[in-house]
Chain A
Amino acid sequence: MKPFEYAAPRDEAGVLECLSPEPGHVEILAGGTDLLPLLQKMILTPRRVVNIKEVASLRRLSADSQGVVIGAAVTLSDLLEAPELAPCTALRQAIEGIDALQLVSQMTLGGELCRRPQCWYFRNGHGLLADAGRRVVQGDNRYHAILGNSGPAKFVHASRLAPALIALDASVRVIGPEREDEHYLPLADLFRTPRHERERETVLLPNQFLTHVYVPHPEGWLNATYEVKHGRGPAAPLAAASAALLLEGGRVADARVVLGHVAPVPWLSHEAAQELIGHAVSAETAARAGQAAVAAATPLSQNAYKVDLAAVAVERAILKAAGLPTGGL
């Protein structure tokens, strides 16, 4: 670890004051489970680290008749315990998928959404894009992207909660650069596929930060997350999907299907949703939606198997949301 200055502001304005417009100069510290290893390996070498856990507004979770407001520094274990989030099964299942009590009690919602990729080329110091994607293409890409990978970014987005929250139609509040700047955007729009090394995986400017997530009550929306995991514990799933379904008269009136760990962003599949709308949920329709979700997949040299896994994840998330048996382990 390189030396850095430590700051712990007490309010949101204080956080903004600590940020810098220069990329890489300041890193935000929440749970620390992702940042600390990156500091240890000197993948990130900020001049300042800003702990946002002492900002009261960021640690608050509250609900009104419409939905739940969650501060960025609220821990995942607090989310699991919040009765207001009980109907958000997709979110709960995504948190349970992390499968490590230390991580769940340390990680924060904001930190989880902003987790850096687990890509081993990135983590071993070859840059986010690993020589404009060349290392990944020529090297070992068994865990890399199968969708949205035509540019230099070949990693998969690391967030496990984002697919669930996007399926639940969450939006986020971002503030900065100026203290009066307040932006609201759908969570899906927070993420982007970086095109060069100076870009990160979110649209946030270096002097902006994510303060809150808003999750509307999923009234009537059945929702679930399914992860294909190679064993228990916190290792990333091989593929995952979250589905939210609005049923009317036994047929799907609206649907949102989001895949995780298949693309450099959480992958919202309109194709899968379209496949469902107007039909009753069954093993057949779920399978069709799974196939539709991966129809445009462009696997790399070693990860064609992930196309099958992604399709199965979508299929099973849909069945799970609808309360039908998934037929798997």
Chain B
Amino acid sequence: MPVEYRWPEQGKTAVVGHEQDRIDGLAKASGTAKYSYDINTKQMLIARMLGCPHAHCRIKSIDVSPALQVAGVVTAKPMKEAGAEIQWPGEPLAVVAAETEAAASEGAAAVQVEYELLDVYVDDTDRQAAEAAGRTAKGGQSIELEREPGEDEDEAEFEEREIQRLLDEAAKEGVVVEADYGIHAITHMCLEPHGSTCEWLGDKLTAHLSTQNVSGTAGQFAGPLGITADDVTVHCDFIGGGFGSKFSPDAWGVVCAQLARETGRGVKLMLTREQELKIAGARPSGFIHVRVGANKDGVVTVWDSHHWGTGGPDSGSIRPAVVPYVFAPPNRRAVHTVIKTNTGPFRAWRAPDHPQACALSQTAYDDIAWKLKMDSYEVFRRNLHTTRLPDVYAAEMEIAARLIGWKEKYHLHGQGPAEGSVVTGLGMALHTWGGAAHDSTCLLRIHPDGGVETSLGSQDIGTGTRTVIAMVVAETLGLPVNAVKVNIGNSKYPPSGPSGGSTTVGGVAESNRRAAQDALVQIFDLVAKKLNVSAEKLVAAKGRIHVSGKPDQGLSWKEACSLLGMKPLEVRGSYSRRENQPSKLSSETVGGVQMAEVAVDKRTGVVQMRKFVAVQDMGLIINPKTARSQVYGAVIMGIAYALFEERIIDRTTGEFLNCEIADYRLPRLGDIGEIVVELYQPESEYNRGVVGLGEPPVISPGAAISNAVANALGVRVPVLPLTPQRVLEAIKRSNV
């Protein structure tokens, strides 16, 4: 009989769903966990790159020989040739390897380069100016109208006329908000910068790479190095942050391997902090002009927007399909223009497009409440029928409202009491994400002495993947978590997907649950024979295999495993989305509701977080402890882009100005206020199986906090982050 892969019923689990400390917590907290930056090989060289100081230029000549004169420098090589066009600041031009980090930095600075400066374009806020400068491209559009054009009608003309008609109707009977909103580009700013430590043994490469993609990067090394993927081992036990920016070895990873091959020594090449900010990933900016019409009850009837932004020299920002965000009013048009700038190219940033789309559109929804003098909660609630998850949102909104005290605290925009110059406000936003499990394989090995280990080419980007895997195997085999050894972080293990898009927990849970269930069938067969009972009657619980309901009638786990004889039992667990969905172990699509309470000092423009409530569904929760941490972390990252961080580019030279941590503002421990996390897991959620969680809660904070500030002030501060400067300037504009 084929095994049915499923989870135990809710409330009947021994491990899954219970609070579990991270199994690598001690290593991380006491500094013994080894990240790529921490791997020191014997006789290792340190490499540093020279980054281009200009935003747009052509390389006239490049001479690395002065670097070789620097004491301690062993080798140096150009990474660009004369004639190359450089399109953003910080692009690596040359690399220097030396005995010490100091000598490598000194050497990199000694490389001589002649530049021909080219025109710089960096303004991503002004679409007309960018069009005039020829720096735009069409970014596509999405349109949906209830009515259709007549047979002879020109479609474009009809759309224009129909949207105008709907807006006129709304203006007459309800309200139209016409406004601009924006959100600046930010960087990933992983605390462990991108990079690797590479060493060769003969013609085989081991790359200790800081990566979210252990199983997918070996081949990316192999091609440029003229070897095949089987000659490459990518190793990453711990990664110091990725957030979507670490899926590839990058040019600097390949050059690190080349230097190691050429020198016959291990080489460590990690980006400097400045380089990490300049070239290792940014989230596109977004700016929007929107006209949105609603009836007098606050139900949106028409949305018309044009948004733009930059993702670097040849890419734009947010896909129009997610504008307006979550809500899909019956008539809507979203047009997107790409602005091409001399800034570092974008990379996927936690929930790509969604945080910006949310901040650009759910602010407009909130302004409908402001204009209609309605409660924001009501306006959001009355538009839920245009979302894909109306029931989930409705339930989560009620919970969030209760947790933040919405009813007691809410006032209309700008109508709250002031204490001195301090006003407070509430705001909310909704989000959604897919989070389907990625493909994953694992090799589960059960030793005759009872030892259990599972191996897979996955990685723990901070979410607690190791712990989740151990929990799934322990749950299935009826063992304690510490009885399971988890081997991840090596490309020689069975392949598992990259950790991006909230896909990992689902993926590794699928493969490991499947492997462990399959293994258990084989163990049950052995035990059944031994005890002379039917295998169907056996269960695995509390370290024993026994007849269901009769704990005495069975064997200890160890005794059961000894029946394997000399060889360990090896079972491969495999999950692929194409072959195994629908699956009872995992599914996709979550909602999520967040509410913010802020205090704003009207005289200084300083915004202070008071309270933040995040209600999040995620299907079945494997480890509530680390799940909660994901939500806390996402909210704090959201506070970061809502109030603090932005990439600041010199408008004349294109220089990335705040490229060091002292200038790149981020929240600190005292900035986050009280955060309340509610994991929403009714039986209906549990029964869906695992759905990814990492991305969704990072989406709403921008809009929720912006809406709370607007509610406090009675003034919309249109562009994120809401710095004191922007808040004061918005207040001033509103007084004119």
Contacts and interface: CB of A to CB of B under 8 A. Distances in A.
Interface of A: 1-3, 37, 40, 42, 99, 118, 120-121, 123-125, 135, 138-140, 142, 228-235, 238, 305, 308-309, 312, 325-329
B556 interface: no
A138 B651 CA distance: 8
Contacts, number: 110
Given A230-B644, A235-B665, A305-B725, A329 B651 contact: no
B165 interface: no
B132 interface: no
Given A231-B644, A325-B420, A328-B420, A308 B728 contact: yes
B603 A312 contact: yes
A42 B643 CA distance: 32
B668 A328 contact: no
A231 B662 CA distance: 13
Nearest to A100: B668
Interface in B52-75: 53, 71
Nearest to B606: A329
A289 to B, nearest CB: 15
A142 B53 CA distance: 22
Contacts of A305: 605, 724-725, 728-729
Contact of B668 (A121, A135, A233): A233
Interface stretch (B294-302, B408-416, B500-508, B652-660): B652-660
A142 B420 CA distance: 27
A17 to B, nearest CB: 27
The A interface, classified by DSSP as helix, strand, loop or mixed, is loop
B724 A139 contact: no
B668 A3 contact: no
B389 interface: no
Contact of A124 (B603, B655, B723, B724): B655
Interface residues of B, number: 44
Closest 8 CB pairs of A and B: A327-B420, A233-B668, A232-B670, A232-B668, A329-B601, A120-B657, A139-B650, A305-B725
14 contacts: A37-B660, A121-B657, A140-B650, A231-B643, A231-B666, A231-B671, A232-B670, A233-B670, A312-B604, A325-B420, A327-B419, A329-B601, A329-B604, A329-B606
A312 to B, nearest CB: 5
Nearest to A315: B603
A37 B663 CA distance: 13
B717 to A, nearest CB: 12
Given A232-B669, A232-B670, A312-B603, A328 B421 contact: yes
The B interface, classified by DSSP as helix, strand, loop or mixed, is loop
Given A42-B109, A234-B662, A235-B662, 20 more contacts: A1-B102, A2-B106, A37-B660, A40-B105, A121-B657, A123-B660, A125-B53, A135-B652, A140-B657, A228-B606, A230-B724, A232-B667, A233-B668, A305-B605, A305-B724, A308-B728, A327-B421, A328-B604, A329-B599, A329-B608
A40 to B, nearest CB: 7
Contact of B665 (A2, A230, A326, A328): A230
Contacts of B105: 1, 40, 42
A228 B725 CA distance: 11
B659 A124 contact: yes
Contacts of A234: 662
B653 A139 contact: yes
Contacts of B650: 135, 139-140
A294 B644 CA distance: 26
Contact of B603 (A125, A238, A308): A308
Contact of A1 (B106, B658, B662): B106
Interface string B703-736: 0000000000000000000011100110000000
A142 B670 CA distance: 24
B23 interface: no
Nearest to B659: A124
Contacts of B666: 231
Contacts of B655: 124, 139
Nearest to A139: B650
A140 B651 contact: yes
A231 B106 contact: no
Nearest to A42: B109
B281 to A, nearest CB: 20
A2 B73 CA distance: 13
Contacts of A329: 422, 599, 601, 604, 606, 608
A202 B650 CA distance: 29
A14 B102 CA distance: 28
Interface in B110-160: none
A293 to B, nearest CB: 15
B12 to A, nearest CB: 45
B166 interface: no
B79 interface: no
B648 interface: yes
Nearest to A1: B102
A231 B665 contact: yes
Contacts of A327: 419-422, 603
Contacts of A125: 53
Contacts of B422: 327-329
A326 B652 contact: no
A313 to B, nearest CB: 8
Interface string B589-620: 00000000001010111101000000000000
Contact of B724 (A37, A120, A238): A238
A232 B671 contact: yes
B160 to A, nearest CB: 38
A115 to B, nearest CB: 12
A120 B655 CA distance: 10
